[in-house]
Amino acid sequence: MPPISFALWLLVLVFDTGGQLAFKAASGVPGEGLGHWRAMAVRPWLWLGIAAFTCEFVTWLAFLSVVPLAEGVLLSCLNMAAVMLGGRWLFGERLTARRLLGVALITLGVVLVGAG
């Protein structure tokens, strides 16, 4: 892979994973219904997540302009593994055998759909 494609892919991975983890951090504040949204809006996590996804959108478009779509989808599948590891690291989510199997099956499925 040329350095520019690799750099863009790495950025997509960082923004996508960072966005998911920021959203998880945002959702953890106490509150119900509208109160929950008010509590999320005054903390940085939700906005950080939205910023990450905005950056990801632009980076993803740039990435797809240098690699074919099927290859792009293939490489973006690593995002699932990265979010899983991030969840364990930041929120103490358990990596059980069943969870790993489930995520592996979904990853393989997305690869096959993208390759078709």
Partner 1 sequence: MNTRWRFYLVGFLLLMAIDTGAQLCFKLAATHAAPFAADPGWLLRVLREPWVYGAIAGYLGAFVTYMTLLKHAPVGPAFAASHLQVVSVMAASAWLFGERLAPLQLVGAALIVLGILVLARAEDEVAQTTPGHAR
CB of 87 to partner 1, least distance (A): 4
**3-state class (DSSP) for residue 82:** helix
Indicate whether 98 belongs to the interface with partner 1 (CB under 8 A). yes
Tell me how far apart the alpha carbons of residues 40 and 58 are, in angstroms, rounded to a whole number: 25
Tell me how far apart the alpha carbons of residues 49 and 80 are, in angstroms, rounded to a whole number: 16
CB of 3 to partner 1, least distance (A): 26
What is the x/- site pattern for partner 1, positions 15-54, by CB under 8 A?
A: -----xx-xx-xxx-------x---x-----x--------
Nearer to partner 1, 44 or 109 (CB): 109
Tell me how far apart the alpha carbons of residues 96 and 13 are, in angstroms, rounded to a whole number: 23
